[in-house]
């Protein structure tokens, strides 16, 4: 059984990026500055593709992290030892600032932002009950 979880999205940030890239693309097109259009438009398309294609899949023994065109990150679930809620702003395959820090192996970690964090954590715990979970206090 596979469980797939879409990334949550900070729409204020995504909207700002789309507005800036889309607006500058249109402005450069209007002014006939093709270089700006040729640079901005592929970046805008890539960003939208990433918004639509960032998700996390829990398979029998592996967590697969998919983020747009980037190579998939595959983490053996048995190697995951800690999940912590965080708002860490480091670059990561997470489209929201409401994130989970997943620590695995020795000193490795990744930040993700499943839309339904509690369901994601519960699904992970069914695969590896030894994972330590630290939830933020609200």
Helices then strands, counting H and E runs in the chain, come out as 3, 8
Domain that holds residue 99: 1-138
β-sheet bridge partners, residue 103: 82, 109
Task: Please report which confidence band the pLDDT of residue 108 belongs to, taking 50, 70 and 90 as the band edges.
Answer: very high
Is the pLDDT confidence value at 7 over 60?
yes
β-sheet bridge partners, residue 9: 95
- Domain count for the chain, please give it: 1
pLDDT per residue as tens digits for the range 46-100: 999 999 999 999 999 999 999 999 999 999 999 999 999 999 999 999 999 999 9
Helix or strand holding residue 16 (H, E) = helix 11-30
Count CB atoms within 10 A of the CB of residue 15: 11
Token reading at 24: 């500058």
Is the pLDDT confidence value at 138 over 70?
no
The Cα 56–Cα 2 span in angstroms is 10
pTM of the model: 0.87
Q: What is the CATH number of the domain that holds 103?
A: 2.30.29.30
Predicted pLDDT at 2: 60
């Amino acid at each position: 059984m596979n469980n797939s979880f879409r990334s949550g999205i900070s729409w204020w940030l995504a909207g700002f990026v789309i507005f800036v890239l889309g607006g500058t693309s249109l402005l450069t097109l209007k002014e006939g500055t093709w270089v700006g259009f040729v640079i901005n438009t592929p970046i805008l398309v890539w960003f939208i593709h990433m918004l639509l294609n960032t998700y996390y899949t829990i398979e029998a023994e592996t967590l697969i992290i998919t983020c747009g065109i980037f190579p998939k990150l595959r983490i053996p679930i048995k190697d995951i030892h800690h999940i912590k809620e965080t708002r860490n702003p480091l670059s990561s395959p997470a489209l929201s600032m409401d994130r989970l820090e997943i620590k695995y192996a020795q000193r490795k970690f990744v930040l993700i932002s499943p839309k339904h964090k509690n369901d994601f954590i519960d699904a992970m715990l069914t695969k590896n009950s030894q994972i330590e979970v630290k939830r933020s206090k609200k």
